[in-house]
Amino acid sequence: MSWLLPALVLVPFAGALVLPGLPDRFAVRAGVGVALVTLALAVLATYETGTTGFGRMQLEVRTDWVPALGLQAHLGMDGVSAPLVLLTGLLSVLVCLYLTRVGPDRNLVACVLAVTGGSLATFTALDLLLFFIAFETVLIPMWLVIRIWGDTTQPGGTATRNDAASRFVLYTATGSALMLLGIILVIARTGTSDLTELIERGGAGMSVTTQTVAAGLIVLGLAVKTPMWPLHTWLPPAHTIAPTAGSVLLAGILLKLGTYGLVRVAVPVLPAGLQNVAPWLGGFAVVGIVWAGLACLTERDLKRLVALSSVAHMGFVLLGVASMTPTGLQGALYANIAHGVVSALLFFVVGALKDRHHSADLSVLGPGLRDRLPRLGWLLTLGAVAGLGLPGLAVFWGELLAIAGAWQSSALGALDRPYAVIAAVGTAIAAAYWLRVLRLIWQGTPPADQAGLPDATHHETVVVLPLVVATVVLGLLPGPLLSTTAGVVRLLLPGGGVVP
């Protein structure tokens, strides 16, 4: 079945190339078709990997591309990448489905498919340089989505839209250019860019200083994409401007590239280096959680608020990774998927609200949503409640395990317990700002003038349904996802994660 992964990656790209040629109406439907095929391939690949064991790398396919650089087109999938591939496939289908009814535009669907293809390539790439190329492939399509279909009704019109788009791509490009330096340093020192080989070596052959420098650079590049606290200021404007489809892609898939990179590249390949970087990474993550939480407390724009909440969520993921313990890593991977599902759900709902009210400002969305638009109201409540990490819904497990990982982490040294406590306090702040949102727009008496708005259409409900089911199922039944990542996490950590 070695054809499976290349097909998985190339089908969306092919779709992206073909779609601009077709007429709008037909193109969007074709887009959904291509996305469905990709999802089917993803499910098949996951099933195949599952049967032969998530612990090791499966479905490997490898051909030489640039021998001089040692760059090989080397794809593979294991327990860490399988859930992310599935999530990408699912979100891509949902976004394409969403676009069939809301502003169908063939180029937009093409960009969506390009982003999907790029992400799938990143998740299955097993060669450092191929990972980097795939990591960068996502930039231009996402920039196009924001630049062309962005919202120009914000104060400042097209200027803010262009600024948001260019800020997104330039910030990320600088980050990934620095990451490239780290990657080249690793390749130069170890002589190979093959990830499976590097993972087995576990950082042997590189002095600790080299590992620290390389880890510093790679983590910096990935942190911009995650985003980590001081480097996050590109995310809120990007989300406020991006169209709903763009926001879902950005939050659902793009943020995962950064964290996946950390787990796949930084942790196993540069264990000693990451050991030195971990306290800083943990520190910024924790500050991010509290900082973004507090910023949300006074945020006026709902999309910006959800974006800032994403920064807080990804703070937990980074804390999990920085702990470098099996529990922490599994927490990070779990929170990754959970955030993908929940933020996608939230952005769909917020997008629907924004389309109806032509603004995402809390005062305009107005009180009394529960009576005016009951279905959208309940979806928003479910999203908010999941967002604040209610046990029984997906995000809780990620946060609990990340905090547990941080608590007993040797990599964070003396800072492990304080970080865990601050992160736990962060969950309370999350509750505060989400309840503020519900209080401002969900509760209260609906104003008279906004009576006529239509509730969630059948189409929108169908698009959001899988996400609702996923949020609840992932919340109640953590077993399956945790066991998928359990095998690999033991492999990725130095010495199989000596801490219990």
Partner 1 sequence: MLTDITGTLTGVPRIDAVALLPVIAPVVALLLVLLIDAVRPVKPLLNLVTLAGLLTAAGGVAYLALEGTERSTACSIGVVVGTAGLSGPSPLPESLSPSDVGFGCSYLVSDLTLTGQAIVLVAAIGCLLLALDGPGAEDRTAHHTLLLATVAGATALAGARDLATLTVALETATLPAIGLIALRRDAQGAQAAVTLLLTAIASLGLLLLGIGLLFLATGSLYLSRIADVLASDPDEKVLVVAVAGAMFALAGIGFKISLVPFHQWTPDTYAGAPLPVAALLSTVSKAAGLTAAAVLLGIGLPALHDAWAPLIGVLAALTMTAGNLVALRQQVAVRLLAWSTVAQAGWVVLPLAASGTTRDGVREAVAASLGYLLAYVVAGLAVFAVVVLVARHHRAGEEHTLEAYRGLARTEPVASAVLAFALACLAGLPPGVMGLIAKVVALRPVVDAQLWPLAVVAALNVALALAYYLRWTALLLATTDQATPRWRLRPAEGIVLGGAAAGCVGLSIGAGTIAGLLPDLLR
Partner 2 sequence: MTESAAILSIVLPAASAMLGLLMGRDWARDWAVLGSLGALVAAIAELVLVGTDGPVTAFGFLGRAQLGGTTIDLALRSDQLSAAVAVLVALVAFCVQIYSTAYLAGEGTPDAPTRYPAYAATVSLFTAAMMLVVHSADLVLLLIGWEVMGLASYLLVGHHSERASARAAAAKAFLVTRVGDIGVVLAVVVLIAGAGTTSISDLNRAATENEIGHGTVLTAGLLLLAGVVGKSAQFPLHIWLPDAMEGPTPVSALIHAATMVAAGVFLMARLLPLYLTVPGALQTGAVLASISMVGAALAALAQTDLKRLLAYSTISQVAYMLGAVCVASDRELGSGDPTALAAPGVLHLLSHGAFKALLFLAAGCIVHIVGSTALADMGGLWRTHRSLAVLFGIGLLGLAGIPPFGGFWSKEAVLSAADEAAHAGTWVGWTVLVAGVLTIVLTGLYAGRAWAIVAMGRDPVLPAVGDAETEEPHENPHGHSQVPVAMMLPLYLLAIPTVAFGLVLLTPFDLLHGVEIQPGTAITGALLALSGVGWAVSAPRLGTPDIAVALPVRARALLENAFYFDAVIRALVVRPVLGLARTVQMLERDVVDAYVRAVRPTTEIAGTVLRRTQTGLATGYAVWVLVGAVVLTVAGMVLV
Q: How far is the CB of 138 from partner 1 (least distance, A)?
A: 9
SS3 content of the chain, % helix, strand, coil (to 5): 80, 5, 20
Q: How far is CA 129 from the centre of its chain?
A: 21
Instruction: Tally Cβ neighbours within 10 Å of residue 52.
Output: 12
Interacting residues with partner 1 (CB under 8 A)? 65-69, 71, 118, 129, 132-133, 136-137, 139-140, 143-144, 147-148, 162, 165-166, 169-171, 173-174, 177-178, 180-181, 184-185, 187-188, 213
- Rule CB under 8 A: say whether 400 interacts with partner 2: yes
294 binds, among partner 1, partner 2, none (CB under 5 to 8 A by kind): partner 2
Q: How far is the CB of 136 from partner 1 (least distance, A)?
A: 5
- Rule CB under 8 A: say whether 30 interacts with partner 2: no
Q: How far is the CB of 477 from partner 2 (least distance, A)?
A: 6
Q: Which residues contact 243 (CB under 8 A, 6 or more apart)?
A: 103, 108, 145, 149, 150, 151, 351
- Rule CB under 8 A: say whether 64 interacts with partner 2: no
1 to each of 38, 58, 60, how far by Cα in Å? 15, 10, 9
Contact between 434 and 387 (Cβ < 8 Å): yes
* 63: phi then psi, degrees, rounded to nearest 5: -135, 150
Local structure of 206: helix, strand or coil:
coil
Nearer to partner 1, 127 or 299 (CB): 127
133 binds, among partner 1, partner 2, none (CB under 5 to 8 A by kind): partner 1
Contact between 132 and 176 (Cβ < 8 Å): yes
Nearest by Cα to 261 from 309, 306, 228: 228
Of 385, 412, 474, 488, the residue at the interface with partner 2 (CB under 8 A) is 385
Nearer to partner 2, 185 or 493 (CB): 493
- Rule CB under 8 A: say whether 413 interacts with partner 2: no
Residues 208-237 that bind partner 2 (CB under 8 A): 230, 233-234
Instruction: Tally Cβ neighbours within 10 Å of residue 33.
Output: 13
Residues 354-383 that bind partner 2 (CB under 8 A): 368, 370-371, 378
DSSP 229: G
- Rule CB under 8 A: say whether 294 interacts with partner 2: yes
Please give the Cα distance from 255 to 219 (Å, whole number).
14
Of 78, 127, 151, 299, the residue at the interface with partner 2 (CB under 8 A) is 299
Nearer to partner 1, 133 or 287 (CB): 133
Instruction: Tally Cβ neighbours within 10 Å of residue 138.
Output: 24
Nearer to partner 2, 20 or 374 (CB): 374
Stretch that binds partner 2, among 4-12, 93-101, 152-160, 425-433 (CB under 8 A): 425-433
Of 1, 428, 465, 469, the residue at the interface with partner 2 (CB under 8 A) is 428
Contacts by 369-373 with C-beta closer than 8 Å and gap 24+? 369/441, 369/442, 369/446, 370/442, 370/443, 371/445, 371/446, 372/446, 372/450, 372/451, 372/453, 373/453, 373/455, 373/456
Nearer to partner 1, 50 or 103 (CB): 103
Of 302, 404, 412, 474, the residue at the interface with partner 2 (CB under 8 A) is 404
365 to each of 87, 242, 355, 356, how far by Cα in Å? 30, 18, 11, 9
DSSP 19: G
Q: Which residues bind partner 2 (CB under 8 A)?
A: 167, 171, 230, 233-234, 291, 294-295, 297-299, 325-327, 330-331, 368, 370-371, 378, 385, 390-392, 396-397, 400-401, 403-405, 407-408, 420-421, 424-425, 427-429, 431-432, 435-436, 439, 442-445, 475-480, 482-483, 486, 489-490, 497, 499-500
